[in-house]
Amino acid sequence: MDLNLKDKTAIISGGVGGIGQCIAREFLAEGAQVVVADVDGEKGEQFEAECSAAYGDKRLKFVQTDVTVPNQIRSLFVQAHDFWGRIDILINAHQWWPFAWFKDITDEDWQRCLDINLASYFYLCREAVNYFLAHGIKGKILNITSQAAFRGSTTGHAHYAAAKAGIVGLTMSIAREVASHGINVIGLAPGMVETPSTEEALKVNRAQYESRIPLGRIAKSEEIAGVAVFLMSEKANYITGATIDISGGILMR
């Protein structure tokens, strides 16, 4: 299916991680340009070099960015615009998935979880909306949240679930404000996914996680990426404010 994404430019936060990296590859396969933002400079430069070799040109640019720092986010957008001339899409795919039972969550980890998993989404979305409005672009934003936003956590991730629930409310609120400008804002709520950040948890509790999934298996990052790219295409122009479930049946509404 041609998603008509050729020559579109997408910023992907957390683009060096499992889901973010797969989304970046999907966009490149569709002929889009990509700016990957991640705090991990070494992995980011390796990924840029790998994609340059695979696609034969500089269609992916890496910008080292701490998404909890608003000035760095502003710089990210300036660099993306200077490099490609326009920005059409923002995908927020970064996350921090800390473990602690509720009674043991420290003040520091609570605040860090909110900073990485919620406040940074606000900063990035605000920058994107202002950019789209200033340039008259009918842009799109995708916020990766989690099924935990709707079901809570039973495995020691209450602070993560709270932040992800905040993303759902933020997504709806932004979407209502900017819909009249032709800007779409969408959420995507995966369940458990095979990524580097979940590797250790799956080694210990794979059977427990799989037992809760009607489809009976853990998702691959590529399965999340395919839906993400579709939602950012013109094929999904009539979707905004919604958070799409992609959890193997954990969420059914």
Residues classed as catalytic: 160
Q: How far is CA 181 from the centre of its chain?
A: 22
Q: How far apart are CA 192 and CA 183, in angstroms?
A: 29
85: left (phi over 0), alpha (psi -120 to 50) or beta: left
Sheet holding 184-190, edge to edge: 60-64, 33-38, 9-13, 89-92, 140-144, 184-190, 243-246
190: left (phi over 0), alpha (psi -120 to 50) or beta: beta
Q: What is the CA radius of gyration of the chain?
A: 17
- Looking at residue 134, its amino acid is A
* Phi, psi (deg, nearest 5) at residue 91: -120, 120
Q: How far apart are CA 199 and CA 228, in angstroms?
A: 22
